[in-house]
Structure 1
Amino acid sequence: MYRIFWRTARAALMGGVGLAAAALPVGAENVKVGVILTYSGRDAALGEQIDRAINLYVKLHGADLPAGTTVELVRRDDTGPNPDVAKRLAQELILREKVQMLTGGQWTPNATAVAALSKEAKVPFVVMTAGGSAVTEQSPYVIRTGWTLWQTSYPLGQWAGKQGMKKAYTVVSDFAPGHDGEQAFIKGFTENGGDVVGSVRIPLKTSDYLPYLQKVKEANPETIYVFNPGGPQATAFMKAFDDIGLTRSKVRIIGPGDITSDDELPNMGKAALGVTTLLQYSPSGDRPENKEFVAAWKKEYGEAAVPTFFAVAGWDGMKAVFDAIIAQKGRIDPDKTMAFLSNWSNPKSPRGPIKIDPATRDIVQNQYIRRVEDVGGKLVNIETDTIPQVADPWKAMKK
């Protein structure tokens, strides 16, 4: 017999603390998992992708838990990239809720703040989507099931140089993943014959990209490397790119796949056509496990719903959590959990085979060259090439 309990901050404040414990039979194991994501504000759609993946995994795989084991998910809303808020929520989950594991980690600043607490409290933390390379170095109790910006942007820079692109301009959001992406792309590009003619960092919470793109237009590059966190920000950028006339000037946009998130492509319109990205996932990927995952997603959330790379990171992150619980028969020990997670793998992920590098506790996975194309009247990221089993280059270069 298994049961899954969900609780939000609102439920906890209204007296839901005893919900799971009161229902547990004698001898049962209740594993409390804290989930910190963005559930409100401009970037709530990104958090929703992760949360939906968590829900779907639990629904389809709850029966895999050991008999008598329950999992209680205690959710908290960080409202966006707010490290002070994330730290306070993590403290609450650890001290008041007594969670045995943490997950979520949507933003690098937030995940960095939470990682410090996971180290102090010895609470394993499965980071799902924060892409700053240094996150996993903040605590020995952290693994990551998402990606890093070095993992996408350094190989993309290498690819761009080898494709004969000569002049590039970088445009990134001004926070740690943007800095990582900028540095990684520049290194990969210049090592392969390219020249970066200009760079601009845009405030993370900006909604007006036109002044920044005017500078790009004046520099007249043939290629623009772009990184922003995706979602509505990516759509706003693409529309500004089109409005200022850069689409018509034949400037080529490349970047990590955040900038053409599949759920935002319908909002981007023709400005996204031809954009080339590098990423570990596309829902159009021709893999049996991916087709099964996409079908399950549409069955649960509607035919128009599309799982993104955020969703897959959440799906695999929840599998890692479940696998750790199953391996310990529901009795969570922090150090045994980390020993297991540091060597965890999933050969049948929707994105292809993935594994955790035990030396870095970071993910190793395929990266796919993707191009936005019109397929039957719908914009789709089509995978055109594979770079197999990429580890985080930033960590490899430090050795």
Structure 2
Amino acid sequence: MNANQTRSTNFLCGMAAFLLCAPLLAQPLTVKVGVVLPFSGPGGDTVEREEQAMRLYMKLHGKELGGIRIELIKRDSKEPSGATTRELVRELIFRDNVDILLAGQFSPDAIAAAPVVTQAKKLLILVNAQASFITHLSPYIVRVSAASWQIAYPMGRYAIEKLGCKKTVVGFIDYAPGRDVLAAFKSGYEKAGGTLADAIPMGGPTAVPDFTPYLRRIRDQSPDCMYVFTPGGPFTLALARTYHELRMAETGVKFLGTGDATQDSILAQYGAQALGWMSGGQYTADLDTPENKKFLAAWQAEYGRDSIPDYFTVHGYDAMAAAFHVIKTLNGKIDADKAVAALKGWKHNSPRGPIWIDPATRDVVQNIYVQKVVKKNGRYGIEVLDTILAVKDPCKELAIGQCAAAAGKTK
């Protein structure tokens, strides 16, 4: 074989090797994101909207990843006991090798997942779970949703300082989140110089109660204000119906609640029954900001003009935004310690307003909006009465109860 033939043969071999290897070289880097939520459990429609929000964020911002691909791996935790979530998180980590987890619709789910992600050193971004002490349970948990104290504590103070609620009765669904809300509101109310007139357990979370005896008990005490917590959905629909039937609005008692009471996606189902209700919450679809208007337009273009996002929706949207921030910062090579470091101090212009992650607690810092149910332009919606700016989690700020115990402090 002469020199020219040798060069030709080498060239052809090189080209063959290149063509064989080119598909492998062109393979995009893939980041696996595990999503563990109760898709078929209580509030499955809410979880569906959270997933839709995640996918919308991916669609709108995918080009920002520079060719890095996200593979969503969904698992259905079904019920909020925590046991199923723990096993699914373990499966996603050790079998599917996910890089990031988006999970924790309910607090028991997040609590059960905490030791697993700690052992495996995997980032877990909380989609919703709101028990304040959860972020103390693992250094790999970051919350972008809200903590129960973050909403109820400032509203306790606001009730006295701005609304003149000198006599207030609290009604709550009697389980861990409800008792957490009670403790938070009571603490804020007492900090402002008040003393609750009564605190009324209104049944448990497994079945919607008949609210009649509880609302009558509140009415009979003639308070200035009532502050109510229920899990939302069918609970608040039943509450609104009974509130209307008992003509509670005619008594002059101001209705206050958490954002669950004024959830945008179910306002139309209330009709006039909840007109005048006030709440403290982290988001409303009626928020008048450029970022929210842009988000609302994108949401309705994707899912229909009659689809109304709510605070759960924005939790899902911002959870994916946090995941994107980690992926971009680490160029798709996910290390849990570096991922948490990337999120500490992260600032994001969310549809709910500016949010950031407190480096000391790994909890979201955000505005809390004082909201009122109104009818405008022929539909039921929300009027924002006031804004409490940049609220941190008071439970950790004050080192109260479980927050103190979880942090190894005493109070």
- For 1:150-169, what aligned pairs fall within 5 Å after superposition? 150-162=149-161, 163-169=163-169
Aligned residues: 375
Determine the C-alpha separation between the residues in 2 that align with 1:180 and 1:89.
Answer: 27
Query: In the alignment, which residue of structure 2 is the partner of 1:77?
Result: 76
Question: Which structure shows the higher helix fraction?
Answer: 2
Determine the C-alpha separation between the residues in 2 that align with 1:237 and 1:205.
Answer: 15
Query: In the alignment, which residue of structure 2 is the partner of 1:54?
Result: 54
- For 1:1-399, what aligned pairs fall within 5 Å after superposition? 28-67=28-67, 69-162=68-161, 163-201=163-201, 202-210=203-211, 211-346=213-348, 348-398=349-399
Which residue type is aligned with residue 229 of structure 2? F
Could you list the per-position Cα deviations for residues 30-74 of structure 1 after superposition, in whole angstroms to 9, with x for gaps in the alignment? 21111111212441122122111101111111121132x211111
Task: Please report how far the alpha carbon of residue 27 of structure 1 lies from its aligned counterpart in structure 2 after TM superposition.
Answer: 5.4
Contact 2:41 2:77 in 1 (8 A): no
More off after superposition, 74-83 vs 314-323: 74-83
Task: Please report how far the alpha carbon of residue 374 of structure 1 lies from its aligned counterpart in structure 2 after TM superposition.
Answer: 0.7
Task: Please report how far the alpha carbon of residue 25 of structure 1 lies from its aligned counterpart in structure 2 after TM superposition.
Answer: 5.8
Which residue type is aligned with residue 226 of structure 1? V
Contact 2:357 2:365 in 1 (8 A): yes
Contact 1:161 1:190 in 2 (8 A): no
Determine the C-alpha separation between the residues in 2 that align with 1:229 and 1:24.
Answer: 50
Partner of 1:274, secondary structure, is coil
The CA RMSD measured in Å over matched residues stands at: 1.7
Determine the C-alpha separation between the residues in 1 that align with 2:215 and 2:40.
Answer: 29
Determine the C-alpha separation between the residues in 2 that align with 1:91 and 1:244.
Answer: 49
Determine the C-alpha separation between the residues in 1 that align with 2:190 and 2:316.
Answer: 34
Determine the C-alpha separation between the residues in 1 that align with 2:69 and 2:330.
Answer: 13
Could you list the per-position Cα deviations for residues 128-147 of structure 1 after superposition, in whole angstroms to 9, with x for gaps in the alignment? 21111011111000111111
Which residue type is aligned with residue 117 of structure 1? V
Contact 1:43 1:232 in 2 (8 A): no
Partner of 1:353, secondary structure, is strand
Partner of 2:293, secondary structure, is helix
Contact 2:208 2:234 in 1 (8 A): no
Partner of 1:320, secondary structure, is helix
Determine the C-alpha separation between the residues in 2 that align with 1:230 and 1:337.
Answer: 33
Contact 2:345 2:357 in 1 (8 A): yes
Which residue type is aligned with residue 370 of structure 1? Q
- Go from structure 1 to structure 2 and tell me whether the alpha carbon gap of 1:302 and 1:25 turns closer, same or farther (over 3 Å shift): farther
Partner of 1:220, secondary structure, is coil
Determine the C-alpha separation between the residues in 1 that align with 2:278 and 2:233.
Answer: 17
Which structure has the bigger radius of gyration?
A: 2
Partner of 1:388, secondary structure, is strand
- Go from structure 1 to structure 2 and tell me whether the alpha carbon gap of 1:111 and 1:24 turns closer, same or farther (over 3 Å shift): farther
Q: Which runs of 5+ in 2 are unaligned?
A: 1-22, 400-408
Partner of 1:263, secondary structure, is helix
Task: Please report how far the alpha carbon of residue 343 of structure 1 lies from its aligned counterpart in structure 2 after TM superposition.
Answer: 2.4
Partner of 2:350, secondary structure, is coil
Task: Please report how far the alpha carbon of residue 241 of structure 1 lies from its aligned counterpart in structure 2 after TM superposition.
Answer: 2.1
Task: Please report how far the alpha carbon of residue 24 of structure 1 lies from its aligned counterpart in structure 2 after TM superposition.
Answer: 7.5
Task: Please report how far the alpha carbon of residue 26 of structure 1 lies from its aligned counterpart in structure 2 after TM superposition.
Answer: 5.5
More off after superposition, 201-210 vs 144-153: 201-210
Contact 1:261 1:308 in 2 (8 A): yes
TM-score by length of 2: 0.87
